[in-house]
């Protein structure tokens, strides 16, 4: 059982095997017969008759009923009680049968149900009363009352034991359930920890490599120097990611065969050198006297400092708590507030900080500058081209990502396009909202996972702000998680692409989104369609939607452009545009992406049916 005061688990006493009951039945029968046969009945009571074969058999059978105390306790009590009643009624010496009757009654109360205990109690009391009424010698009314009281006490004791055992079983089951939940929770937490480590090591690096590789290939002919710098960043990032991946795999594998040491604060010089080679100006400072840290605290401190160049500003990591079993971090992601991370271990160490100088990049939205300007421009890799002069078709774009190397690569790509103008950069959600309000870009390239305010909430605020009515949000992320895609579209995003999208596709997507249309990655569209195919209609169609508008909604859900819809429905191109605009206003949808969601949620669009949908990007013209 689990003791409430200590939480210590102690198992109940193990039940004896069933063969013990068989031995008990034999011993009880032998004892009862021996007492009956050897008793000097004349000396005990002259009215008693000498033992006869019938009395011996009844006594043996009745005493053997005690062996049923756990499997069939009520039947065992009936056997003992009936034997005692018949032997006593025949004026034979009962011997130990009355005592065995009390034991059998206790067994009913302790091992049976409460109803069986009541039935057994009534059976014994009725037997005593019947014997007294039959005129059994030396059985007065007071004797019957005393025996009945003893029976009640025996039943009460047995019932208390039964309840205690039931309580022990409940506590044991609850303790087992808690242990199972704790075990599953530990597995979940370990999976999350592994996922975080792999995300830190692999996902960030791979997204950076994908973006830099795409941009480098795109600029290879026009700007070979910038492409070469992108290759240098890719080479350094891949080497660092590979080394750190080996460390993570070594931790998961365990044992003595892990060859690569776990990264820690001692590895900061290598980290700083790699960041500097990538084009960032960084400084590292250690305050106090360095001491050995617990392994997990050391690894956590290294990860915190490692993230700083992607998040801008200054981060401090220092041990805190008793025995330095906690890690306290102070940096821009928390708005100046410290965050504590519990890690197991003992020890002490100095504080390690990493400052990224001028890491905000160019344009509005730099943290700490009220006017959104930065003191220094930092472009990685290589110098950015000057912005093209704005023309009548110039699309103004803001880039939001917490990794500056990714952000600067996107900026370099966008500035290579004559029809695009980068109006600012931001490294977190709050800065993105401020940038959208001040610069009012046509399109915001928005990362999803960022420190402080994430991209989803930033998108909601931008979409809800009247000052940003003309701003469209194109989400970019490393993962195409279904819930994430759905949440992004719900938040008001006009598109959702993966960061490894080809540069030309990204440029085309910006133009599509800026034109008021919507665009999803083909894999994302296919998975959303599969998801909606398994769901029932979530809400009814608005009553004001006409039959013609229903047909148009189905066509939009199929990913058809306005011209294709016009040809399919035998309508004019202008009529289709008018219908689409009317639907957006009538249904409160921001763009075609939300019209597609509306069509699926209401059941107007059903995958795999004529007029349903195919896995093509949502688009329009």
Which string of DSSP letters, residue by residue, matches 150-199?
HHHHHHHHHHHHHHHHHHHHHHHHHHHHHHHHHHHHHHHHHHHHHHHHHI
CATH placement of domain 395-516: 3.40.50.2300
Mean pLDDT to the nearest integer, 205-230: 73
For residue 381, cis peptide bond before it (omega within 30 degrees of 0): yes
Mean pLDDT to the nearest integer, 334-347: 40
Please report which confidence band the pLDDT of residue 330 belongs to, taking 50, 70 and 90 as the band edges.
Answer: low
Number of H helices, E strands in the chain: 21, 11
pLDDT at 550 over 80: yes
Pairing of strands 495-498, 519-520: parallel
Q: Spell out the domain ranges in the chain.
A: 19-179, 205-357, 395-516, 535-601
161-175 per-position pLDDT tens digit: 988 988 888 888 888
pLDDT at 245: 67
What CATH fold (topology level) applies to the domain 535-601?
Answer: Arc Repressor Mutant, subunit A (1.10.10)
Q: How many residues does the chain have?
A: 621
More confident residue, 269 or 612: 269
Please name every residue paired with 355 in a beta bridge, in sequence order, or none if there are none: 283, 314
Query: How many CA atoms within 13 Å lie on the side-chain side of 251?
Result: 16
- Whole-angstrom Cα distance, residue 318 to residue 418? 47
pLDDT at 10 over 50: no
User: Of the given ranges (3-7, 76-80, 473-477), which has the lowest mean pLDDT?
Assistant: 3-7
pLDDT at 396 over 90: yes
User: Of the given ranges (34-38, 73-77, 385-389, 434-438), which has the lowest mean pLDDT?
Assistant: 385-389
pLDDT at 146 over 70: yes
pLDDT at 25: 84
- Whole-angstrom Cα distance, residue 561 to residue 619? 6
The 8-class DSSP code of residue 9 comes to B
End-to-end CA distance of the chain: 70
pLDDT at 344: 40
Which stretch, 283-292, 312-321, 474-483, 528-537, has highest mean pLDDT?
474-483
Please report which confidence band the pLDDT of residue 13 belongs to, taking 50, 70 and 90 as the band edges.
Answer: very low
pLDDT at 192 over 70: yes
65-76 per-position pLDDT tens digit: 888 888 888 888
User: Which phi-psi region, left, alpha or beta, contains residue 151 (left: φ > 0; alpha: ψ -120 to 50)?
Assistant: alpha
Q: What is the mean pLDDT of the chain?
A: 72
Please report which confidence band the pLDDT of residue 534 belongs to, taking 50, 70 and 90 as the band edges.
Answer: low
More confident residue, 131 or 500: 500
- Whole-angstrom Cα distance, residue 270 to residue 277? 11
DSSP codes of every residue in 492-542: T-SEEEETT--HHHHHHHHHHHHTT--EE-HHHHHHHHHHHHTS---SPPP
User: Of the given ranges (131-140, 174-183, 226-235), which has the lowest mean pLDDT?
Assistant: 131-140
pLDDT at 373: 37
Integer CA distances (angstroms), 18 to 21, 143, 169, 419, in order: 5, 36, 20, 88
Q: Residue 94: which of 141, 33, 150 has the closest Cα? A: 33
More confident residue, 241 or 474: 474
Helix/strand/coil percent split, the chain, to 5: 55, 10, 35
- Whole-angstrom Cα distance, residue 237 to residue 70? 71
User: Of the given ranges (157-166, 201-210, 509-518, 610-619), which has the lowest mean pLDDT?
Assistant: 610-619
- Whole-angstrom Cα distance, residue 59 to residue 90? 12
pLDDT at 253 over 70: no
User: Of the given ranges (146-160, 317-331, 335-349), which has the lowest mean pLDDT?
Assistant: 335-349
* Assigned token pair, 86: 């018949």
* Assigned token pair, 607: 């995958």
Contact 492, 459 (CB under 8 A): yes
């Amino acid at each position: 059982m689990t003791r409430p005061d200590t939480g210590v688990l102690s198992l109940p006493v193990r039940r004896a095997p069933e063969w013990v009951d068989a031995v008990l039945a034999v011993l009880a029968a032998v004892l009862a017969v021996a007492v009956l046969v050897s008793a000097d009945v004349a000396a005990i009571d002259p009215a008693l008759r000498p033992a006869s074969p019938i009395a011996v058999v009844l006594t043996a059978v009745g005493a053997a009923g005690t062996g049923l105390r756990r499997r069939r306790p009520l039947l065992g009590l009936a056997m003992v009680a009936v034997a005692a009643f018949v032997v006593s009624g025949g004026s034979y010496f009962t011997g130990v049968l009355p005592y065995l009757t009390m034991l059998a009654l206790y067994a009913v109360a302790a091992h049976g149900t409460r109803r069986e205990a009541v039935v057994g109690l009534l059976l014994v009391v009725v037997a005593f009363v019947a014997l007294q009424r039959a005129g059994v010698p030396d059985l007065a009314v007071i004797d019957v009352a005393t025996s009945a009281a003893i029976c009640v006490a025996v039943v009460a004791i047995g019932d208390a034991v039964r309840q205690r055992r039931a309580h022990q079983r409940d506590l044991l089951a609850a303790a087992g359930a808690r242990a199972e939940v704790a075990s599953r929770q530990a597995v979940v937490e370990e999976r999350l920890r592994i996922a975080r480590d792999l995300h830190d090591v692999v996902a960030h690096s791979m997204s950076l490599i994908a973006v830099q590789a795409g941009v480098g290939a795109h600029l290879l002919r026009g700007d070979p120097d910038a492409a070469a710098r992108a290759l240098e960043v890719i080479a350094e990032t891949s080497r660092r990611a590979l080394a750190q991946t080996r460390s993570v795999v070594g931790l998961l594998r365990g044992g003595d065969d892990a060859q690569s040491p776990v990264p820690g604060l001692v590895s900061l010089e290598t980290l700083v050198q790699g960041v500097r080679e990538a084009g960032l100006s960084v400084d590292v400072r250690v305050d106090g006297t360095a001491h050995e840290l617990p392994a997990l605290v050391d690894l956590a401190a290294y990860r915190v400092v490692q993230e700083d160049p992607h998040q801008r500003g200054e981060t401090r990591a220092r041990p805190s708590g008793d025995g330095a079993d906690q890690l306290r971090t102070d940096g821009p992601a928390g708005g100046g507030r410290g965050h504590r991370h519990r890690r197991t271990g003992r020890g002490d160490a100095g504080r390690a900080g990493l400052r990224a100088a001028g890491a905000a990049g160019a344009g509005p939205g730099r943290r700490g500058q009220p006017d959104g300007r930065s003191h220094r421009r930092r472009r990685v890799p290589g110098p950015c081209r000057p912005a093209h002069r704005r023309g009548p078709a110039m699309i103004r774009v803001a880039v939001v990502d917490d990794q500056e190397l990714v952000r600067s690569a996107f900026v370099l790509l966008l500035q290579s396009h004559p029809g695009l103008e980068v109006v600012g950069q931001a490294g977190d959600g709050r800065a993105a909202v401020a940038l959208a309000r001040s610069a009012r870009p046509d399109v915001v390239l928005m990362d999803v996972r960022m420190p402080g305010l994430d991209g989803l909430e930033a998108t909601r605020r931008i979409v809800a702000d009247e000052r940003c009515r003309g701003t469209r949000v194109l989400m970019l992320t490393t993962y195409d998680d279904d819930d994430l895609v759905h949440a992004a579209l719900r938040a008001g995003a006009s598109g959702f692409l993966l960061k490894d999208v080809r540069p030309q596709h990204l440029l085309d997507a910006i133009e599509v989104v800026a034109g008021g249309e919507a665009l999803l990655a083909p894999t994302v569209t296919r998975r959303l369609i599969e998801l909606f195919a398994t769901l029932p209609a979530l809400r009814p169609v608005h009553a004001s939607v006409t039959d013609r508008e229903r047909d148009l909604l189905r066509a939009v859900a199929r990913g058809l452009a306005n011209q294709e819809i016009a040809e399919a429905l035998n309508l004019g191109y202008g009529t289709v545009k008018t219908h689409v605009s009317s639907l957006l206003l009538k249904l409160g949808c921001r763009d075609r992406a939300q019209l597609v969601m509306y069509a699926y949620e209401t059941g107007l669009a059903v995958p795999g049916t004529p007029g349903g949908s195919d896995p093509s990007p949502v688009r329009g013209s």
